[in-house]
Structure 1
């Protein structure tokens, strides 16, 4: 019952993801971070099979770092999105990744941007996007309340409205979510929204 969504506001982009690691009817943990910080100004929120998600996001992160190391300049958000889409399209014809991606970034020249890339390599630049069962409710709330000139506080308030709707409407709603933001000051964790905490592991 994964849920990843994001939006672009005034001079920032924001990505939200649930933090449940689930297999079949079992919840293995409730603090799995599904938003990878690719570099200083890029975030990648991903949903899908746990192994594919972890492998693919790390693969993109390392190749973005390799490009910067070799060339001395970072990839733009658009270039990173195109690279990510290309890798999914190549894998689609061999051994597909079951991964859906929301890529957010901030570039000095163009400002914030958000890209929707799904597991069959569909690619769009968007103002708002969502994946997973929670997307039915998050997209509805964002369609009604989203504005492109939102401040960070207004965007986080909208995120909280989306989470309240997901938790009240979805029959198996994830309990915890993480919010990350990227703007001119860089990519960083903004806040967690937790209703369940993992039990501490007892000392042996």
Structure 2
């Protein structure tokens, strides 16, 4: 029951993911971080088979770092997204990865951006996107409430609405979520949302 979604606001991009590691009817852990920091200004949220997700995101992270080491400059968000798409497309014809990706980044020239990359190597630049069973509800909420140039407070409020909807609609809903942001200050964790029994949704 994975849920990964993201959106672009005024001067920032958010990526949100559940933190459950589940196989069949078993919950292995509830603090799995599915949003990887590629570099100081890029985040990669991923859903899919656990092994593919971890292996592929680590592979992309190390190659982004290698490019910066060799050339002295980091990849732009668009370049990182196209590199990721290319690697998925290459693997698709050999040994495909079952992984879907939301890549968020911030560039000084172009500002924040969000890229949707699915397991068959489709790439789209978007304002909002979602993967997993939670996408049925989070996309509906974002379609209704999202608007361009959202403030951070508005974006977090919308994220909370999506989480509440996911928890109330899914039969087996993930209890915990992590919210990460990338803006001119860099990529970092913003908030965590815990199950209602542990803490109020809006409490930090």
TM-score (ref. length: structure 1): 0.96
**Residue 66 of structure 1 aligns with which residue?**
66
Matches within 5 A, 1:17-166: 17-166=17-166
* Per-residue deviation, 1:195: 1.1
Q: Helix, strand or coil: the match of 2:17?
A: strand
Can you give the 5+ residue segments of structure 2 that lack an aligned partner in the other structure?
A: 199-204
Contact 1:3 1:17 in 2 (8 A): yes
Conserved? CA contact 1:106–1:112, under 8 Å: yes
Equivalent residue for 1:202?
Answer: none
Deviation at 1:93, TM superposition (A): 0.2
Whether the 8 Å CA contact 1:30–1:196 is kept in 2: the answer is: no
Aligned partner of 1:16 in structure 2 is: 16
Distance (Å, rounded) in 1 between the aligned partners of 2:38 and 2:152:
21
Post-superposition shift, 1:148?
Answer: 1.1
**How big is the shift at 1:139?**
0.2
Secondary structure at 1:36 match in 2:
strand
Give, in whole Å, the separation in 1 of the partners of 2:190 and 2:96: 32
Superposed CA RMSD in Å reads 1.2
Shift of 1:143: 0.2
The whole-number CA distance in structure 1 between the counterparts of 2:165 and 2:24 is 24
Residue 197 of structure 1 deviates from its aligned partner by: 9.4
Judge which range, 146-155 or 73-82, deviates more: 146-155
CA pair 13-133 structure 1, distance change in 2 beyond 3 A = same
Partners of 1:176 and 1:196 within 8 A in 2: no
Cα distance per residue 1:79-99 (max 9 Å; x no partner): 000000000000000000000
Q: Deviations over 1:92-131 (max 9, x none)?
A: 0000000000000000000000000000001100000000
How far, CA to CA, are the matches of 2:4 and 2:197 in structure 1?
20
Task: Output one character per residue of 1:7-46: Cα deviation in whole Å (capped at 9) or x when no partner.
Answer: 0000000000000000110000000000000000000000
Runs of 4+ residues deviating >2 angstroms: none
Mapped partners of 1:171, 1:56: distance in 2: 29
Q: TM-score of the superposition, structure 2-length normalised?
A: 0.96
What CA distance in whole angstroms lies between the structure 1 residues aligned with 2:97 and 2:192?
28
- Tell me, in whole angstroms, the C-alpha distance in 2 between the residues paired with 1:29 and 1:157: 27
